[in-house]
Amino acid sequence: MARTLRLGLIMEPTGWHNRGFIEALKHPEVGEAAVCDPTGGLIEAARQGGGDKVRAAYTSYDALFREFAPDAVLVTMEPWRQPEPMRRALEAGAHLYYEKPGYVAIDDFRALYRLARRQNRQLYCAYASRMYPVVQEARRLIAAGYLGELLACQAWLVADHERTWQTNPTRIEYDLKRGGWFFSKEKAGGGILTIEGCHYLDILRWISGVNFKSVAAMARVVGGEPITAEDAAGLVVEFEGGMLGTLNCGFYVSSAEYRTLEHLGVMVWGRQGWLRFNPSGKPPFEALEWYSTRATHAKSPTKRWRFEETPGAVGVYQLLFQAFFRACLGLEAPPVQAEDAMWVNECIHAAYVASDTSCTQPIAIPSV
């Protein structure tokens, strides 16, 4: 296979993390690139960001696939508009990296999952939290058996309440009156659980190595704003093998408090120990604390590790892009598989059904 990729970038001004997607064009694994923005609004920014690599620009993704024929495609758009270009990319034989959630109706994502599996293409969700060293170390400790049989886990993700305010919103994406999608269930598919909580569901499943089995949940608008997507969600998740987990996510604190990153965390308990960490905190909150009575660790069971960032180091989002590019080139195994997003999305869908019906719902992913 070629040692560099022909990369397509499909985006729009109200897509999420646009700047990071444009920055991804600079990776050495990208040889030539083409950008598509149906509005035309980001084409110049993409040309400047990608430099000489950007060989073509389109306002039609049909033209991009027909004329440029990319090996891989990045997609960031409003969720209700994502499934169509994602489908077209997979049908064209391209590997696909997309900003979550990638859908509004779960059946649309199930169809994309089946298509990616049939085509043997990457369907790679932007679960960037996996790239934090503290998350990877937590996964390694659990896989090595230091906690023993897993019994329970919990996660909490608390964001800024001001973001939900519909009086003078800070971004058009937040403003329902101007057609913003972020707090629209009709355009985003859901609220805090879909857009942010997905990362922590992925962390719990990934570090434990255990799939979801069932979920009970409540998802509500508790902050009093006239939005249609929930600003608060609480889940109790049963995992295969019996482990129980909880997730509390919501827009509960001030923006100043949110910027401290203190209101984020994960904890896991096992028969022989426990661990806890903040997936994306800053010093001293990123420490990994763990306890194990296994073998020689019984002599000194409690540990606390720090993960200090190197100034100017590549961020987790760009590390995830690079891992995707290298997987497309066959240089390494992909850190995110199509099944990963399918499990998370099925859990979220089941949680909304559980919230609406007050009944625990089973979780399973479709057969191919």
The CATH code of the domain that includes 140 is 3.30.360.10
First to last CA, the chain: 27
Instruction: Answer yes or no: are the C-beta atoms of 251 and 164 closer than 8 Å.
Output: yes
In terms of domains, do 94 and 71 share one? yes
Q: Which pLDDT tens digit goes with each residue over 46-92?
A: 999 999 999 999 999 999 999 999 999 999 999 999 999 999 999 99
Instruction: Answer yes or no: are the C-beta atoms of 25 and 54 closer than 8 Å.
Output: yes
pTM of the model: 0.96
Query: CA-CA distance, 307 to 287, in Å (whole number)?
Result: 6
**The amino acid at 5:** L
For residue 280, give its domain range. Answer: 129-318+344-362
In terms of domains, do 103 and 169 share one? no
Among the ranges given (5-19, 143-157, 312-326), the one the predictor scored with the smallest mean pLDDT: 312-326
Task: List the structure tokens of 167.
Answer: 């009086």
Residue 333 lies in a domain: no
Q: How many helices (H) and strands (E) does the chain have?
A: 12, 15
Q: Looking at residue 23, what is its pLDDT? A: 97
Instruction: Answer yes or no: are the C-beta atoms of 77 and 11 closer than 8 Å.
Output: yes
Task: List the structure tokens of 317.
Answer: 């989002």
Residue 330 lies in a domain: no
| Domain-terminating residue out of 125, 156, 172 | 125
Residue 325 lies in a domain: no
Q: Which pLDDT tens digit goes with each residue over 112-133?
A: 999 999 999 999 999 999 999 9
Q: In which band, very low, low, confident or very high, does the pLDDT at 285 lie, cut at 50, 70 and 90?
A: low
Q: Which pLDDT tens digit goes with each residue over 321-344?
A: 999 999 999 999 999 999 999 999
Q: Among all chains, which residue has been given the structure tokens 């806890």?
A: 276
In terms of domains, do 102 and 194 share one? no
In terms of domains, do 174 and 99 share one? no
Handedness of CA 272, 289, 316, 186 (dihedral sign): positive
**In Å, how far from its chain's centre is CA 155?**
15
Q: In which band, very low, low, confident or very high, does the pLDDT at 297 lie, cut at 50, 70 and 90?
A: confident
Instruction: Answer yes or no: are the C-beta atoms of 218 and 127 closer than 8 Å.
Output: no
Q: Looking at residue 296, what is its pLDDT? A: 80
Give me the mean pLDDT over the 21-40 stretch. Answer: 98
Query: CA-CA distance, 176 to 131, in Å (whole number)?
Result: 33
Instruction: Answer yes or no: are the C-beta atoms of 243 and 150 closer than 8 Å.
Output: yes
In terms of domains, do 307 and 170 share one? yes
In terms of domains, do 154 and 220 share one? yes
Q: Which pLDDT tens digit goes with each residue over 154-201?
A: 999 999 999 999 998 989 999 999 999 999 999 999 999 999 999 999
In terms of domains, do 18 and 116 share one? yes
Which of 101, 227, 76, 102 has its CA nearest to residue 161? 227
Residue 339 lies in a domain: no
In terms of domains, do 285 and 152 share one? yes
- Looking at the 3D structure of the chain, how many domains does it have? 2
Residue 66's H or E segment, with its range, is none
In terms of domains, do 311 and 349 share one? yes
Q: In which band, very low, low, confident or very high, does the pLDDT at 282 lie, cut at 50, 70 and 90?
A: low
Residue 119 lies in a domain: yes
SS3 of 302, please? Answer: strand
Q: In which band, very low, low, confident or very high, does the pLDDT at 368 lie, cut at 50, 70 and 90?
A: confident
Query: CA-CA distance, 188 to 230, in Å (whole number)?
Result: 11
Q: In which band, very low, low, confident or very high, does the pLDDT at 283 lie, cut at 50, 70 and 90?
A: low
